[in-house]
A = this chain, B = another copy of it.
């Protein structure tokens, strides 16, 4: 039986959160009984937070119970998403029947706000770790975190690593290596890895988030409980 892996598309998501794991998981269609699709509330161009728009292939109502779901993140995008009941209902229903529930970056805030991560080991973008904890999860600083059927990636680009780990779990090492080679994922960050000491010292989290806070709080104006947990 075909196993559908559904990537959620919603307004103002961060496109690399979605495209990183999509590019890794899409080739599974060649290696097994998988079907990889993008799903959204409308089959229209949905604006991302990087300028261009993304049009999903299927409606949420077309794919109520996929084998796996992948929930990308963003900044204003996921905060808005957790206030949208039709979308959150799909996330709850699809996640409860799915065998794999994946997220990238602040996509895990959507899962947590849906009540799905209560007491679970979880991760998110480094700047939202405390917020994730206040939403009931146990935040863990790892590149990706697996807890039962949940597999959650850290910020943005971490979705690529998480998706390769998921391919290995669903198939085998050879398939994971083949796909890694196909997308030539042999990373060489020109300045090396992230210097977390410098990030701390520069208080980068605060300075990156501060300009967005008024808008984020405004989005949650009707949801004081979420606002208090996310942006106390």
Contacts and interface: CB of A to CB of B under 8 A. Distances in A.
Interface residues of A, number: 59
A184 interface: yes
Given A187-B161, A198-B177, A51 B23 contact: no
Number of copies: 2
Interface stretch (A86-94, A107-115, A132-140, A149-157): A149-157
A37 B23 contact: no
Contacts of A194: 177, 180-181, 184-186
A209 to B, nearest CB: 11
Given A52-B38, A204-B181, A193 B198 contact: no
A202 B54 CA distance: 36
Contact of A191 (B19, B160, B173): B173
B164 A126 contact: no
Contact of A53 (B54, B182, B184): B54
A183 interface: yes
A63 to B, nearest CB: 13
A183 B161 contact: no
A22 B26 contact: no
Contacts of A180: 189, 191, 194
